[in-house]
Structure 1
Amino acid sequence: MAFYPSKLILSLLFVIATAASIAHGIPIVDVSVAGQVVCTVPGTNCTTCPGIAGVNVTLSCNGGRTTLAHAITNTGGSVNFTLSSADAGALFGQSQCFVYVKLPIATCYVFPPTGVLRSPVTFVRLVHGAAGPIAIFIFRIFHLVGRFS
């Protein structure tokens, strides 16, 4: 299989241009953030690890000063936040947003007994919904950001 650097560069430019358009003026109707909480050592990506049901997940921007939403993971450990641009648009354009999980989680023994896990929210793409553009974000890998006794 041949490697085409020009296609890679074109793809990267498309992603950068799309992400920049969110921060600079395309009127976004909704923001969707999806991901899964799995039982794995913090900082690792396990695509085959089972999801953890019943985990409280918080979506926050501005260094944790602004909480946009709370949700509880489903039976597969997944969660999906859907916010209107009135609630989230300006914050997503101005700051980095994260998803937080507070420990302990009784069903996962590889997590530390106390602390906070954090995963960055990453832009994926724009999709066109019935009312207008929807910005799609995901979260994947959690890192331990605080340990409390």
Structure 2
Amino acid sequence: MKTSQSTFLITILLIASFSSSTHGLILNGLRIGSIRINGVLFCSLDGNLIGNSPPLSGAIVQLSCAGQNTDIGQALTNPAGVFVVVVKILDTFFFDPATCFIRVNLPVATCSVFPPDGALTASLNLVSIIQTALGNIANFTTGNFVHSIL
């Protein structure tokens, strides 16, 4: 009985080791271990820098992907309006740069010029892939924000 349990365990481990190479995010031929998305949010009609619009501090920024019921990452803007969303290796399986976007739900209490409902959304642009001993990091930045009705 003990031999059959050992054989079963070895079989499961072998299957897992072979299948793991087919899962996860691959960009430019490199397996991605984590994702960093950088952006800046301003208190303006569309969230972009317009004239001397002030940075937006304390806003919740979410990474959403089409077809997913939950956000796969989020961050809070700092006093300069800067945010960094980090997605770890397990969540990269759900990440597709073609269908994922940054979203800020409206209204945001600290900015009175935003529209009263909907969301600000921004596309993602790949900037670089950094190869490290701990895995490859894909660095993205946001495109311009636009107002969307959800």
- TM-score > 0.5, shorter chain as reference: yes
Q: Which has the larger radius of gyration?
A: 2
The structure 2 residue matched to 1:54, chosen from 47, 52, 58, is 58
SS at match of 2:53: coil
Unmatched 5+ stretches in structure 1: 1-20
The structure 2 residue matched to 1:107, chosen from 100, 106, 110, is 110
Unmatched 5+ stretches in structure 2: 1-24
Q: Percent identity?
A: 33
The structure 1 residue matched to 2:39, chosen from 27, 35, 40, is 35
Q: Is 1:84 the equivalent of 2:88?
A: yes
RMSD of aligned alpha carbons? 2.6
Contact 1:99-1:118 at 8 Å conserved across structures = yes
Task: List structure 1 segments (4+ residues) > 6 angstroms apart after TM superposition.
Answer: none
Structure 1 segment 1-149 matched on structure 2, within 5 A:
22-23=26-27, 25-42=29-46, 45-46=49-50, 49-63=53-67, 65-88=69-92, 90-93=93-96, 95-146=98-149
What's the offset of the Cα at 1:44? 5.1
Q: Distance in 2 between the 1:76 and 1:43 partners?
A: 13
- Identify if the C-alpha distance between structure 1 residues 28 and 144 changes in structure 2 by more than 3 Å, giving closer, same or farther: same
Relative to the length of structure 2, the TM-score reads 0.70
**Residues 50-93 of structure 1, C-alpha deviations (whole Å, 9 max, x = no match):** 211110111111256341012211111111111222212x3334
- Number of aligned positions between the proteins: 126
Contact 2:57-2:110 at 8 Å conserved across structures = no
Relative to the length of structure 1, the TM-score reads 0.71
**Residues 88-127 of structure 1, C-alpha deviations (whole Å, 9 max, x = no match):** 2x33347421111111123323311222111112211111
Contact 1:57-1:73 at 8 Å conserved across structures = yes
SS at match of 1:109: coil
SS at match of 1:87: helix
